[in-house]
Amino acid sequence: MAVVVRIPTPLRKLTGNQNEVREEGGTIREILKNLESHYPGIGERLADESGELRRFINIYVNEEDIRFRDGLDTAIKPGDEVSIIPAIAGGAK
Amino acid sequence: MSGSRHLRPEVRLPSAMASEILNHCQSVRPEEACGLVAADSKGEPVAIIPVTNALHSPVRYQMETREQFDAMKRLRREGWSLWAIFHSHPHSEPAPSPTDIRLAFYPDCHYLIAGLGTDPPVIRCFTIVDGKVSESPLRLIS
């Protein structure tokens, strides 16, 4: 089952400038694994060496942040839309 | 600051939008303010979208995640693009700090920094790509 994954501008170089791709997977973890196999290099931008989501990466399924669901194990169903959104942060110090 | 600065062609921003940014930054002072500037299909800045600083700090900002998500969705629905990310430095020079550079994940848009420590306050415009900062002269147009 493939669902739409929205790719943010900072990662579009890795997806051939596509702002949306379709990816298979029953959970976010599976989708990220398949993304990496199709677009090498994207996986390490999203998850750290232990496979956990990087602190400044937010992933939404439809309208919900996966951190408030089951994290990377959040289940995906047909018609869901996955959005990858790098945090916007900084500051004077 | 790490990286070198290179001067680039001027960037134009309607003065009413610059005022909108500064007014928002002043309204949340002494906390840092943040938000997005959207561009229309011609690439011209068209809207200021303030976003809550989830950290409520005078020296750090992080956009409130849900508001950032909603702002990005609004851009997509309106057919807009992300033209700039703005934030304020309430007390320090309006130039990218090491933190700003380390956390700059959007190389394709401008970073506008409002410095509120001077009278009048100023906005400066940068791009940050792979840790390298380039400043563009910001021209306010009517």
What pLDDT is attached to residue A32? 96
Please state, in angstroms and rounded to a whole number, the distance separating the CA atoms of residues B13 and B83. Answer: 11
Contact B121, B115 (CB under 8 A): yes
Tell me how close the Cα of A93 comes to any Cα of chain B, in angstroms. Answer: 5
Q: Look up the CATH architecture of domain B5-141.
A: 3-Layer(aba) Sandwich (3.40)
- Is B135 catalytic? The answer is no
Tell me how close the Cα of B39 comes to any Cα of chain A, in angstroms. Answer: 14
pLDDT at residue B7 greater than cutoff 80: no
Residue with tokens 């933190």: B99
DSSP annotation of B63 reads B
Mean pLDDT by 10 residues, chain A (93 residues): 92 94 96 97 94 94 95 96 96 89
Strand A2-6, strand A81-86: pairing: parallel
Q: Does A15 touch chain B (CB under 8 A)?
A: no
| Residue ranges in B4-142 assigned as alpha helix (H) | 15-28, 65-78, 98-102
Chain B residues whose beta carbon lies within 8 Å of the beta carbon of residue A58: 65, 68-69
Structure ipTM: 0.89
Contact A43, B142 (CB under 8 A): no
CA Rg value for chain B: 14
Please state, in angstroms and rounded to a whole number, the distance separating the CA atoms of residues B63 and B109. Answer: 16
Asked if B60 lies within 8 A of A10 by C-beta distance, the reply is no
Q: Domain-by-domain residue ranges, chain B? A: 5-141
Does the N-terminal peptide bond of residue B30 adopt cis geometry, omega within 30 degrees of 0? yes
Contact B133, B110 (CB under 8 A): no
Confidence band of B6 (pLDDT split at 50, 70, 90) = low
pLDDT at residue B3 greater than cutoff 60: no
pTM for the structure as a whole? 0.89
Query: A86: which strand partners?
Result: A57
Mention every residue, 6+ apart, whose C-beta is less than 8 A from residue B23. Answer: none
Torsion sign, CA atoms B14, B19, B25, B30: positive
Contact A88, B105 (CB under 8 A): yes
pLDDT at residue B2 greater than cutoff 60: no
Q: Which helix (H) or strand (E) holds A28?
A: helix A28-38
Please state, in angstroms and rounded to a whole number, the distance separating the CA atoms of residues B1 and A89. Answer: 17
Active-site choice (B10, B32, B78, B135):
B32
Q: Does A85 touch chain B (CB under 8 A)?
A: yes
- Per the prediction, chain B carries an average pLDDT of 94
Confidence band of B5 (pLDDT split at 50, 70, 90) = low
The share of chain B scoring above pLDDT 90, in percent, equals 91
What pLDDT is attached to residue A9? 87
Structural domains in chain A, sorted by start: 2-86 (3.10.20.30)
Closest CA to B112 of B120, A43, B104: B104
Q: What is the mean pLDDT of the segment spanning B17-35?
A: 98
Q: What is the pLDDT of residues B54-112, one digit of tens each?
A: 999 999 999 999 999 999 999 999 999 999 999 999 999 999 999 999 999 999 899 99
